[in-house]
């Protein structure tokens, strides 16, 4: 939803470029080096999208026929299932995690379910922050217990950190600290960070070598990619500190939604930039509500986890006045669709 800022446009226009398929794009290399350093990993790989980053990690970590233990509302299960099962031949072993956050008991349950189905687990996947759970953040002790549990079973952990930047901004915990609990991590430069295109997947040098080959196979190896990498680099350098503003504004939205008749917050705790709430009805009611809000000039999206759920996300292009307008629009939509 964000538009590149004039400064970002300038950085993109002036970017040094080369053929990244041969590793010769200096801007892509700079972005990959800075990202790897932030994540505390040996290396990072620029990819066109978060979906591709996750799928590359699955391709490197697993063999066809193996299972992945993950939350039932995770992005990989909700959006990428066809790629992971159809193209990579994996089985999804989903567990119903509270707020999307796995714990040792759920991991245990996933392994037991897989065993009964005759499936060997090849990967445990965690999503931090968790999109459909109002951007829930993994507490470090929970990540620790999952990491040691998976390690004891000899299974790697992949972190879908599309919004790991937000987890770090909200907690003050460095991204590298979160990332150290996983063998590989995917981060998005688009979304709240505000770059027009791009994500990265990071891990050990050995992981990266295989990831690079998988990226080529997936069709994600780009040529003069420095033009888009420059936008991502600008976002990493200049848009991270302001994420706390998005979080503060999402908190205001959540507080207002909680007071609006006909709406129910799905998660009491909103610490990052996503608010999921429920209109209490079926999909038709929810969609009528979303239309009414759109007619007031405010875009909200449907959310997974229940037929009446919707999602509000704050970002770079939403200021305090925008939050005021959003609250007013949601109030009007709720009054006309949900209460009357
Ligand atoms: C958006 C998102 C992705 C995928 O990123 P794309 O760039 O849209 O492919 C993966 N995981 C999570 C949690 C996301 O929110």
pLDDT in tens, 141-162: 999 999 999 999 999 999 999 9
Task: Tell whether ligand 1 has an atom less than 6 A from the beta carbon of residue 162.
Answer: yes
What confidence tens digit (pLDDT) does each residue in 11-20 have?
999 999 999 9
What confidence tens digit (pLDDT) does each residue in 242-275 have?
999 999 999 999 999 999 999 999 999 999 999 9
Q: What is the pLDDT of residue 340?
A: 66
Query: Which residue reads 């299972």 in tokens?
Result: 67
- What average pLDDT does this structure show over 233-239? 98
Q: What is the pLDDT of residue 283?
A: 97
Kindly report the protein residue whose alpha carbon is nearest to atom 8 of ligand 1: 50
Mean pLDDT across the chain, nearest whole number?
Answer: 97
Domain with CATH 3.40.640.10 in the chain: 6-238
Domain with CATH 3.90.1150.10 in the chain: 243-337
- What average pLDDT does this structure show over 208-229? 97
Residue 327 has pLDDT above 90, yes or no: yes
* pLDDT confidence band for 1 (50 / 70 / 90): confident
C-alpha 261 – ligand 1 centre gap (Å): 32
Task: Tell whether ligand 1 has an atom less than 6 A from the beta carbon of residue 187.
Answer: no
Alpha-carbon gap, residue 321 to 299, rounded angstroms: 15
Task: Tell whether ligand 1 has an atom less than 6 A from the beta carbon of residue 188.
Answer: yes
- Say what the pTM is: 0.97
What confidence tens digit (pLDDT) does each residue in 115-127 have?
999 999 999 999 9
Alpha-carbon gap, residue 29 to 26, rounded angstroms: 5
Q: Which fold has domain 243-337?
A: 3.90.1150
Index of the ligand 1 atom closest to the CA of residue 74: 13
Given ligand 1 and candidates 2, 72, 79, 135, which is best to mutate, with the most ligand atoms within 8 Å of its CB?
79
Q: Which fold has domain 6-238?
A: 3.40.640
């Amino acid at each position: 939803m964000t538009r590149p800022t004039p400064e970002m446009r300038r950085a993109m226009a002036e970017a040094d470029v080369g053929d990244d398929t041969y590793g010769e794009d200096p801007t892509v290399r700079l972005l990959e080096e800075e990202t790897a350093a932030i994540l505390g990993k040996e290396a990072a790989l620029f990819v066109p999208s978060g979906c591709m980053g996750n799928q590359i990690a699955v391709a490197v970590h697993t063999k066809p026929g193996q299972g992945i233990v993950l939350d039932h509302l995770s992005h990989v299960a909700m959006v990428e299932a066809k790629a992971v099962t159809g193209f990579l031949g994996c089985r999804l072993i989903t567990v119903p995690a509270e707020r999307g956050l796995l714990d040792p008991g759920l991991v245990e349950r996933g392994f037991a379910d897989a065993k009964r189905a005759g499936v060997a687990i090849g990967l445990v996947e965690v999503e931090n922050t968790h999109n459909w759970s109002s951007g829930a953040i993994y507490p470090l002790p929970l990540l620790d217990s999952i990491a040691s549990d998976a390690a004891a079973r000899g299974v790697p952990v992949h972190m879908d950190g599309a919004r790991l930047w937000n987890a770090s901004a909200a907690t003050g915990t460095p991204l590298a600290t979160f990332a150290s609990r996983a063998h590989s991590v995917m981060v998005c430069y688009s979304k709240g960070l505000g770059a027009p295109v791009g994500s990265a997947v990071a891990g050990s040098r050995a992981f990266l070598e295989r990831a690079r080959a998988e990226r080529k196979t997936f069709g994600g190896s780009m040529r003069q990619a420095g033009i888009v990498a420059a936008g991502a680099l600008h976002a990493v350098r200049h848009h991270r500190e302001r994420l706390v503003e998005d979080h503060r504004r999402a908190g205001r939205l959540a507080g207002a939604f909680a007071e609006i008749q006909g709406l129910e917050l799905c998660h009491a705790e909103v610490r990052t930039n996503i608010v999921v709430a429920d209109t209490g009805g079926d999909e038709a009611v929810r969609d009528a509500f979303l239309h009414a809000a759109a007619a007031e000039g405010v875009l909200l999206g449907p959310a997974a986890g229940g037929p009446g759920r919707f999602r509000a996300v704050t970002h770079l292009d939403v200021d305090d006045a925008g939050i005021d307008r959003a609250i007013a629009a949601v109030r009007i939509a709720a009054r006309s669709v949900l209460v009357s």
